[in-house]
A and B are shown apart, each in its own frame.
Chain A
């Protein structure tokens, strides 16, 4: 909980405490989705040791104001107790035409990630964290959405100048809190809109001179012009490199001062 920053805004700590729906413990699916057992089998490798766990905090809106940009943040830092670190976190969306949004390997970063996704219809988004001992701990949040997220062309294609800003990267590192926020201009086309081929990011890697810090594998449901929040370990002083690539072979590199 301490890794989330709501408390920095007046009233934020109280409001967040009231608004958070704690994930129930155990293997029952609070949203009773018929598709969840299939997703668990297909995307998580059918683990036997899995459970919903209130230690995985997942925040997002109850209703999607804009189905093309639905913001979430997940914080699995509380899972790290007991010496078993989080190896990867898989984000899936029930009943989405493309169910896997991203996989996050926190590496040397903390298992905290902010991201935005497209929503095609109402349903739960799930964050499933695999620990090094092979056990999975999850949280889910239901979003009501009217739709038009995944099968609508990227807004970029409605603008004649979309290629002008393509590949622009913005970022900032906050050393006091270990926060890194990265934004990249990219259409993130799903390939599901008529006449527009899939064109989306496939990977983003953070590194410093000591090597890779964290890695993201990205898929079509990630929002257009995506932004990500990372939580980096204390004591980073060297510049951080952000590298991304997409399905068409474009590469995007940027450096931010730590």
Chain B
């Protein structure tokens, strides 16, 4: 069953309109209305690269009579500007921007939205500020000229969680964690759409640099209990089912089990990497890169458990 989901993803091709636009040097986004007043700009199901210009994270826009509520802003100034242009031309401007978490592919387009509130959870704002320079260096190295003119504008932490009405649109703002130390998920009451940030991935391998798998699985249980009518994951397609929840849960558990097994068998991290991802998930977008990254980032915690102390400090 899981293999089927992953297999379908591998067949997904980039939209032709977007491919042509990139040849002209812009993103050429074609936002899609996935539910009434809920617009999605779907990111490429890949790692950051010059081929996708860094447009890998999903951007959601919620319509209100006063303009759009923008959720996440992408990786570059140009990406932010193109999202902003769509909001201005089609949705009557921007009311507020919500940043789901501190990873740079979700907020480095912020400069285009700085004239309205740019909000996040407190820990997200702090982490964004602390990591801004490092992220900027890494994105310039990975994306080159796509980054021109990009300066990080960290979000502010003034967000109120729980049920909020923003410009007439009822939202539930859920302060969760596990993908990072602070992950904001948003349930749109009018349509039952869950905009989950990177707590959910679908057909794209999860990124784990700041993950706490136990907390993440607990957050997934909370999201499941909301019974959303549809989900917008942080990366991957919109779906009117719990496919993203099911797949993310299974993928995290399988990766966890694989690294634990590798360390318990005496493999070195280089061998665990060379073995590649769990076969059922090998064809997810951004694999094997995300699997390799997960070995680098998480190996020591598995090896701590596999080895025994033979000399005290």
Contacts and interface: CB of A to CB of B under 8 A. Distances in A.
B303 A183 contact: yes
Nearest to A112: B268
Interface stretch (B143-151, B174-182, B184-192, B289-297): B289-297
Nearest to B271: A6
Q: Which of A60, A73, A179 has the most CB of B within 10 A?
A: A73
Interface string B209-232: 000000000000000000000000
Contact of A254 (B262, B271, B311): B311
Contact of A174 (B258, B265, B303): B265
A97 to B, nearest CB: 19
Contacts of A69: 296
A177 interface: yes
B273 to A, nearest CB: 6
Given A8-B265, A9-B258, A71-B270, A171 B310 contact: yes
B311 A169 contact: yes
B275 A9 contact: yes
A252 B269 contact: no
B72 to A, nearest CB: 23
B276 A12 contact: yes
Nearest to B279: A11
A98 to B, nearest CB: 21
A65 to B, nearest CB: 4
Contact of A73 (B262, B271, B278, B313): B271
Contacts of B267: 5-6, 8-9
Interface in A181-210: 181, 183, 185
Contact of A11 (B265, B278, B299): B278
B306 interface: yes
A114 interface: yes
Contacts of A6: 267, 271-272, 274-275
Contacts of A73: 268, 270-271
B223 to A, nearest CB: 28
Contact of B310 (A18, A165, A242): A242
Contact of B306 (A9, A61, A172, A242): A172
Nearest to A242: B310
Interface in B282-313: 282, 288-289, 292-293, 295-297, 299-300, 303-304, 306-313
B266 interface: yes
Contacts, number: 139
A114 B271 CA distance: 9
Interface residues of B, number: 41
Contacts of A59: 270-271, 273-274
A94 B292 CA distance: 23
A167 interface: yes
Nearest to B296: A65
A12 B311 CA distance: 33
B115 interface: no
A149 interface: no
B114 interface: no
A171 B276 contact: no
B33 interface: no
A256 interface: yes
A172 B311 CA distance: 12
Given A6-B274, A61-B273, A170 B309 contact: yes
A128 interface: no
B253 interface: no
Contacts of B266: 5, 172, 174, 177, 179, 181, 229
Nearest to B299: A71
Contacts of A216: none
B296 A66 contact: yes
A116 interface: yes
Most chain A CB inside 10 Å of its own CB: which residue of B137, B276, B295, B299: B276
A185 B313 CA distance: 8
User: What 6 pairs across the A-B complex have the smallest Cβ distances?
Assistant: A15-B276, A114-B268, A12-B275, A169-B311, A179-B266, A254-B310
Given A8-B262, A225-B300, 16 more contacts: A6-B271, A6-B272, A9-B265, A10-B279, A15-B274, A59-B271, A61-B296, A65-B293, A69-B296, A73-B268, A114-B268, A171-B307, A181-B306, A252-B311, A255-B310, A256-B310
Interface of B: 137-138, 141, 258, 261-262, 265-279, 282, 288-289, 292-293, 295-297, 299-300, 303-304, 306-313
23 contacts: A5-B271, A8-B262, A9-B261, A9-B275, A11-B278, A15-B275, A16-B274, A19-B276, A60-B270, A61-B270, A65-B293, A66-B296, A73-B268, A146-B138, A168-B309, A168-B312, A170-B309, A171-B308, A181-B307, A185-B313, A254-B310, A256-B308, A256-B310
Interface of A: 4-6, 8-12, 15-16, 18-20, 59-66, 69, 71-73, 114, 116, 146, 164-172, 174, 177, 179, 181, 183, 185, 225, 227, 229, 242, 252-256
